[in-house]
Structure 1
Amino acid sequence: MLEKSLGFGGPGMVEGQAMQVLKERDFKALVDNHPRAIMLSTPDARIAYVNRRFQSVTGYPPEEVLGRAPSVLSSGLHSPEFYQAMWQSLNDSGRWEGLIWNRRKNGENYPQWLTIYPVEYHGQRLFAGVFMDVGELTAGDERLASLAYYDPLTELPNRSLFQEFLKARVSQRKPENSCFAVLYIDLDFFKSVNDLHGHDCGDRVLQQAAACVQSVLRKGDVIPRLSGDEFAAIVELGDESELPAVCQRMNGIFQAPVVVEHREYFLSASVGAAVFPHHGETASELLQNADRAMYTAKLAGRACYRIYSATEGAQGHYQQRLSEALMASLKVAPEEFSVVYQPQFDLATNAMVGMEALLRWRHPGLGQISPADFVPVAEQRGQIHELTEQLIRRILADLKNCGIGHGKGMHLAINISARQIADGRLESLLEPFFSSIRATGWIPEIELTETHLMNLSRACLAKLKGFGDRGIKVAIDDFGTGYSSLAYLHALPVNVLKIDRQFVQRLGAEDGDSRIVSAILAIAEALNLEVVAEGIETETQRARLRDLDCHRGQGYLMARPLPLAELALGSTSRRI
């Protein structure tokens, strides 16, 4: 039935059997007064009928289109492949629905949501096209509301509609000397607005932020709200060289505060961009690569932009794969993790005085994975606590199985992420571990990198001081790579400085490197801190560190990291 094919049947509508009793003129009246534009065309591509709404959307009165080909409405933007796929869908499933760009009588191109059905009417096969201008948001549009094409808060297209826009744009013919880019825009620090001021205030800030995004771009650019505090855009470019300026304007608009009801809210934006077709030939590739570029901007410190790089994209893909594998392994395959122990030696006597426990991960598919790869991924993606749990379990199992005897003041160091200090779960995880270590006569030691340690809050520093009060040494790892001031260093509750290997490895080659190590040792002496040099690989390096009165050292020259069972710990006075 034609009337059912045009959407008058189905649940909540008058049943098909009842519709059959309507006279043709009554049915025609229903079609003419339908809120959607309707066009009927013949199999030989001639327009046979249009309703009243058709003229208000397209600008064409019936007498100017009847008998003409539907291509009179074409914008010319879509490729032949687009229409081939449309007809293929009609042949395969008897239906096509999607977003298409068409042209009004006045020459204006506009986005149209079109549904096409093949129908039988009076023994003749026709095609019914039912469409609407998705650029017109009308609250009374039942179909539009049910499909939820727009974000009700900002009145911007939502993710679903944006994806249709993007698919349509990718399918368009490519004018010479022009291209387009997809921007992915994430508002930095928006969560704090919600947390501090409530969601009602957050909603108003989002509305104003959406207006800021729109103010940067041109009227013809498509701007959706994807979710939460994430926006996107399809930006038409005359040339790819225009893109950096667009991204800079997007960053710049948020340098000024967002003002809502005379109150200022400070945000910034991380922006990622991908250019068609260099960074993706499909809608999903472009959006994904723009998202990856935005994430790179986040890692670069926020409030900046990044244009997609294939190298960075491959790295992001690897990190995502690594994150997924790590999560699975932590949950169901703990046997993939092990611990090796790097001995530390007194540089004056060459006696072993401790060791650093290092987590290792061998994945069945990815092989042996460097901690330099999986630890940052765990930190960035919220898996670091579970990783530390695995480290502690493995150490305790090793101690139980190997029996290291009484340590008599030997050090056992583990690495902790500074992000965990504020985690309430850390204390309950470490306290039993420290108790076990102290029971054997060993001194527990935790290492945190200098860069992260500098950003800890007062509450976190108080927790570290509490560790020190209970006999747990706190070490600054990779010292020399951050920017600690002497005043700040003096205030930190630390006992040990670990000189970064980059300074140790150049000892003997440059006088400047010896002076840097000597300066670190002088700082440590002034602050009554012990110093450990890591990465010692040559006899020259060890001799120079001994001459400079460095206390402890570790490195391949003296011992490589080994499983606990392979370390000769029967005598804790082991010498090299």
Structure 2
Amino acid sequence: MLTTRIRNVDTDAQADAGMQSLNEPDFKALVDSHPKAIMLTAQDGSIAYVNDQFERVTGYRQEEIVGHNPSILSSGMHSREFYIDMWQSLERDKRWEGLIWNRRKNGETYPQWLNIYPVEHEGGAFYTGVFMDVGELTANDERLAALAYYDPLTELPNRTLFQEFLKARACQREPADRCFAVLFIDLDFFKSVNDLHGHDYGDRVLKQAAVCIQGVLRKGDLVARLSGDEFAAIVELQEPSEINAVCERMASAFRKPVSVDFREYFLSASVGAALYPRHAESASDLLLKADRAMYAAKTAGRACYRVYSAEESEQGQHQQMLSEALVASLKVAPEEFSVMYQPQYDLRSGAMVGMEALMRWRHPELGAVSPGEFVPLAEQRGLIHELTEQLVRCITRDLTRHDFGTHGNMRLAINISARQIADDRLEVLLEPFFTRLQLAGWCPELEITETHLMNLSPRCLDKLRDFGKRGVMVAIDDFGTGYSSLAYLHALPVHVLKIDRQFVQRLGPDSRDSRIVSAILGIADALELEVVAEGIETEAQKAKLQELNCHRGQGFLMARPTPLESLVRQATSG
């Protein structure tokens, strides 16, 4: 229970009066009928009385325990500093509440939630300890409604109880060759399960995910559900090097589908780990660093694990800062976003035949943020639709302000995320935008990265076909970096292949990349697709593409991304 300090009493008579008062029938009946375990200690530090529930929880009968010091119950798992803090809190606040590990009569250690407070009864002064064995609680226990220490869905400890377990564990003094780790586990893309199948199925998937997590760990490890799709665990280790194998098993457990009611749900898990005492010694720092390591795993592509490192943590903090700034800018500072336009040219005639709209973000404190940073971040944080809204707004504004003149069905290409195609908001946003472009004589074009396009569902592909029927071109961006099969490519509702810049930059007379580009052009010709080469930076690259009969091209050699106003001036002056 607790190691009680010996208190001075004014007189032996006062102490005797207090002990006598504990034997009064009314007091005894009240204490014995209480649903929680109760222990009263006298001011001399000895146990004065325990109730029936105390006997059930600890295994000690009243005649075995009364008169002893509460240290008989100590598990030895808490440091001296733990008890000093407890007493300081008790003296300052007249109460202490928290998780403590104690030992039953049979030697078993167990966690109890303990409240200590002073009481006076019939002239006697006591400290009362009221506790329950939280290890026995389940989500069906009516006491949980008041205590709320367990997650009712998964029946795992919740964040509050986990933090108390972690505090207690961090206070223990282990041999130098022993340590433990905190894991932070986040289920990737769980939101899509709720969105597609409803929260009832989502809850069932979460329950099964909790079972998967528990199945990876060993007896003695502790798992908790912190919130939503976030879990945490305290993992006991013989040596620090074991953590990599544990994390790998955890990430691997979610690389196969989660089965619920004969249906399979494909999730993955990002796992972060922090080691005690290598990375931190306090409970709060351990959980924080495990969280940062988990975020590093997400940044690395998800479905993997990371053990905490200061360097990755610094990068993660930068990403978090950038994410918060992006959210704020999208909501309240649309003026920070603009669009640059990179012309595309017919490689045979040299005429401008279209342009690609490229998003730009300039933050007042962070300065110009690279699209290579903020676009993937918007995808990861579920902000890509809001970013596309800003893209459409900026293009609409530019086309309203600047008349490009007669352009004869010139292409205007925008990039979208494959994940957006399943989002009904995309069609609501793009349909009036494309109609406006077409009325003004532009030909809209959607660019989607090859790797993501290969994973689209039949429903999403049908949406792309519908766009095509309405005169919208569909382009595969970064072609050559994915794994398209000819059969699948033939079935895709696409009109344009954009050759990735890495092949263009290595073009040469006899290079393998020249043969790859030639093969792509052959495939495109067979499937009646148009080809655009990206990243043309030298005359040699341009000449080689012309020799290979590539249709269109864009790159710094011909024109850098520029405001529409500048392109209008060039067109009118030319």
Question: Could you say what secondary structure the match of 2:559 adopts?
Answer: coil
Aligned partner of 1:79: which letter?
Answer: S
Aligned partner of 1:170: which letter?
Answer: A
Determine the C-alpha separation between the residues in 2 that align with 1:139 and 1:411: 60
Aligned partner of 2:269: which letter?
Answer: S
Question: Could you say what secondary structure the match of 1:408 adopts?
Answer: coil
Q: CA deviation at 1:377?
A: 1.9
Determine the C-alpha separation between the residues in 2 that align with 1:252 and 1:528: 42
The aligned counterpart of 1:501 is 501
**Pairing 1:542-557 to 2, within 5 Å after superposition:** 542-557=542-557
Q: CA deviation at 1:114?
A: 0.9
CA contact (8 A) 1:47 1:66 kept: yes
Question: Could you say what secondary structure the match of 2:135 adopts?
Answer: coil
Q: 1:68 to 1:319 in 2, by over 3 A?
A: same
Verify: 1:276 aligned to 2:271, yes or no: no
The aligned counterpart of 2:3 is none
Q: 1:490 to 1:256 in 2, by over 3 A?
A: closer
CA contact (8 A) 1:46 1:69 kept: yes
Question: Could you say what secondary structure the match of 1:395 adopts?
Answer: helix
CA displacement, residues 269-322 of structure 1 (integer Å, 9 cap, x when unaligned)? 626241333444443443444455556666777765544454444444333333
Q: CA deviation at 1:100?
A: 1.0
CA displacement, residues 208-242 of structure 1 (integer Å, 9 cap, x when unaligned)? 66555444433322233445665432211111222
Aligned partner of 1:176: which letter?
Answer: A
Q: 1:85 to 1:540 in 2, by over 3 A?
A: farther
Q: CA deviation at 1:248?
A: 4.6
CA contact (8 A) 2:257 2:264 kept: yes
The aligned counterpart of 2:83 is 83
Determine the C-alpha separation between the residues in 2 that align with 1:346 and 1:195: 43
CA contact (8 A) 2:102 2:111 kept: yes
Verify: 1:114 aligned to 2:114, yes or no: yes
Q: CA deviation at 1:203?
A: 6.4
Q: 1:434 to 1:512 in 2, by over 3 A?
A: same
Determine the C-alpha separation between the residues in 2 that align with 1:561 and 1:139: 59
Once structures 1 and 2 are overlaid, which stretch shifts more, 400-409 or 190-199? Answer: 190-199
The aligned counterpart of 2:181 is 181
Aligned partner of 1:275: which letter?
Answer: A
Unpaired runs of at least 5, structure 1:
1-20
Question: Could you say what secondary structure the match of 1:40 adopts?
Answer: strand
The aligned counterpart of 1:325 is 325
CA displacement, residues 246-276 of structure 1 (integer Å, 9 cap, x when unaligned)? 3454466678887888x57566662624133
The aligned counterpart of 1:445 is 445
Determine the C-alpha separation between the residues in 1 that align with 2:307 and 2:112: 31
Q: CA deviation at 1:376?
A: 1.4
Aligned partner of 1:434: which letter?
Answer: F
CA contact (8 A) 1:250 1:269 kept: no
Determine the C-alpha separation between the residues in 2 that align with 1:264 and 1:386: 32
Q: 1:307 to 1:52 in 2, by over 3 A?
A: same
The aligned counterpart of 2:484 is 484
CA displacement, residues 426-450 of structure 1 (integer Å, 9 cap, x when unaligned)? 2232233223323333322221111
The aligned counterpart of 1:517 is 517
CA contact (8 A) 1:495 1:530 kept: yes
CA contact (8 A) 2:178 2:238 kept: yes
Aligned partner of 1:181: which letter?
Answer: A
Determine the C-alpha separation between the residues in 2 that align with 1:257 and 1:447: 30
Determine the C-alpha separation between the residues in 1 that align with 2:208 and 2:526: 53
Determine the C-alpha separation between the residues in 1 that align with 2:387 and 2:417: 10
**Pairing 1:150-161 to 2, within 5 Å after superposition:** 150-161=150-161
CA displacement, residues 354-409 of structure 1 (integer Å, 9 cap, x when unaligned)? 22111111122322111111111222222212211111111111111122112123
Determine the C-alpha separation between the residues in 1 that align with 2:176 and 2:438: 73
Q: CA deviation at 1:177?
A: 0.8
Determine the C-alpha separation between the residues in 1 that align with 2:363 and 2:514: 40
CA contact (8 A) 1:506 1:513 kept: yes
CA contact (8 A) 2:104 2:110 kept: yes
**Pairing 1:152-301 to 2, within 5 Å after superposition:** 152-185=152-185, 210-211=210-211, 213-227=213-227, 231-250=231-250, 270=269, 272-277=271-276, 278-291=278-291, 293-294=293-294
Determine the C-alpha separation between the residues in 2 that align with 1:201 and 1:463: 26
Q: CA deviation at 1:337?
A: 0.6
Once structures 1 and 2 are overlaid, which stretch shifts more, 363-372 or 244-253? Answer: 244-253
Q: 1:464 to 1:138 in 2, by over 3 A?
A: closer
Aligned partner of 2:432: which letter?
Answer: P
Determine the C-alpha separation between the residues in 2 that align with 1:573 and 1:63: 104
CA contact (8 A) 1:95 1:117 kept: yes
Q: CA deviation at 1:149?
A: 2.2
Determine the C-alpha separation between the residues in 1 that align with 2:76 and 2:345: 76
Aligned partner of 1:550: which letter?
Answer: C
Determine the C-alpha separation between the residues in 2 that align with 1:428 and 1:197: 22
Verify: 1:411 aligned to 2:411, yes or no: yes
Determine the C-alpha separation between the residues in 2 that align with 1:257 and 1:495: 34
Q: CA deviation at 1:132?
A: 1.9
**Residues matched between the structures, number:** 553
Q: CA deviation at 1:478?
A: 1.0
Q: CA deviation at 1:78?
A: 1.9
CA contact (8 A) 1:454 1:484 kept: yes
Aligned partner of 2:101: which letter?
Answer: W
Verify: 1:99 aligned to 2:99, yes or no: yes
The aligned counterpart of 2:29 is 29
Determine the C-alpha separation between the residues in 2 that align with 1:527 and 1:200: 45
Determine the C-alpha separation between the residues in 2 that align with 1:178 and 1:225: 26
Q: CA deviation at 1:329?
A: 1.4
Question: Could you say what secondary structure the match of 1:391 adopts?
Answer: helix
Question: Could you say what secondary structure the match of 1:240 adopts?
Answer: coil
CA contact (8 A) 1:361 1:370 kept: yes
Aligned partner of 2:240: which letter?
Answer: E
Determine the C-alpha separation between the residues in 2 that align with 1:256 and 1:481: 25
RMSD: 3.5
Once structures 1 and 2 are overlaid, which stretch shifts more, 482-491 or 249-258? Answer: 249-258
| TM-score (norm: length of structure 2) | 0.84
CA contact (8 A) 1:360 1:370 kept: yes
The aligned counterpart of 2:128 is 128
Q: 1:457 to 1:519 in 2, by over 3 A?
A: same
Determine the C-alpha separation between the residues in 2 that align with 1:260 and 1:396: 46
CA displacement, residues 501-530 of structure 1 (integer Å, 9 cap, x when unaligned)? 111222239712222222222222222222
Q: State percent identity of aligned pairs.
A: 70
The aligned counterpart of 1:74 is 74
Q: 1:535 to 1:80 in 2, by over 3 A?
A: farther
The aligned counterpart of 1:436 is 436
Question: Could you say what secondary structure the match of 2:241 adopts?
Answer: helix
Once structures 1 and 2 are overlaid, which stretch shifts more, 216-225 or 552-561? Answer: 216-225
CA displacement, residues 62-104 of structure 1 (integer Å, 9 cap, x when unaligned)? 5555555433332222233322332232233222111011223
Unpaired runs of at least 5, structure 2:
1-20
Once structures 1 and 2 are overlaid, which stretch shifts more, 225-234 or 146-155? Answer: 225-234
Determine the C-alpha separation between the residues in 2 that align with 1:369 and 1:206: 37
Q: 1:202 to 1:461 in 2, by over 3 A?
A: closer
